[in-house]
Structure 1
């Protein structure tokens, strides 16, 4: 899998490159020091994953994420890099379409795991952080969207487990279902909520109160 690194700190980029390129199945194909450089690099390099810093001087990672997702057919997966997991900027990036977030203090094995998780199509979330952030962002629009969705009982169970950060395989084990069955339920949940991916579905679940802390 190929990765584009985006961070305004050269030392952060160098550290991430060293960790990722030590893996036989990961190649860092490019770097950028600001969000303004991301779109042309994505178009030229076609990375599988963009590791995106949030706070950058010219264009932040939130706007760069929006730009890539609306401008590139079959866009890359976007993994937000952040210092604080409860940063409101991170929440805005996830709402913009990022697929998960990675803490800059993460250990090398956690960095590699994060890239592999989002590259595989899963989301990398920190449920406790999302709960605390969603408490400040709950809105009537999200409540209405979930109410209109008409989720079945099983789909509701799947959404609640998604909100706990469980993967499809973990949900299957929890509910004693086959993985393909869980994938079908997840697809139905996304379609009914009008969510681009499971990250946006989980955010809607928290903002609407469908999933509550604890």
Structure 2
């Protein structure tokens, strides 16, 4: 990953996790907890692509697994966000900009439902049956509802910051400088022969004029 991606993703993930744990988790909303970390990973993945999304998702999930008051096995949520980040990165447009909000909203709903199901499935494999006691249907509905309500405020802002980080002015200046150097070199190589030929022609004309003038002067002296 690029350095500017890491410098942007790390603070965003930390802030999202702190807000989710210290604020959203203490609201005691019915059902699931609004997953601000998931929305941040989705916004970054839809700009950085599937590879960047998978790496960011894994790092964010691992940080959530280790942050208190985590009560599950380490690596469980890292696996979930790694898969979600990879899948969300597959819909990345070529220019990094999404014109319609319908696509991202569908991605948010699918990610909320998919992450809840995947988290419950991994928990069932390791013997955690908490989802059964809470009610999986209620978790799916509330998770999709809460994330969908937060998505218009979080996902566009994260994508905007990610695109700004991708469009590095220094990199663009360097690229422009290289292209100008190449164009300058191309122009000089393409027109060097003509310019040289013109200069050579001028020199020859000046030499002939001097010779003719000298001849005329000598002729005058002879007379």
User: RCO greater where, 1 or 2, for CA within 8 Å and sep 6 or more?
Assistant: 2
TM-score by length of 2: 0.28
Instruction: Give the strand-richer structure, 1 or 2.
Output: 1
Instruction: Give the helix-richer structure, 1 or 2.
Output: 2
Greater Rg over alpha carbons, structure: 2
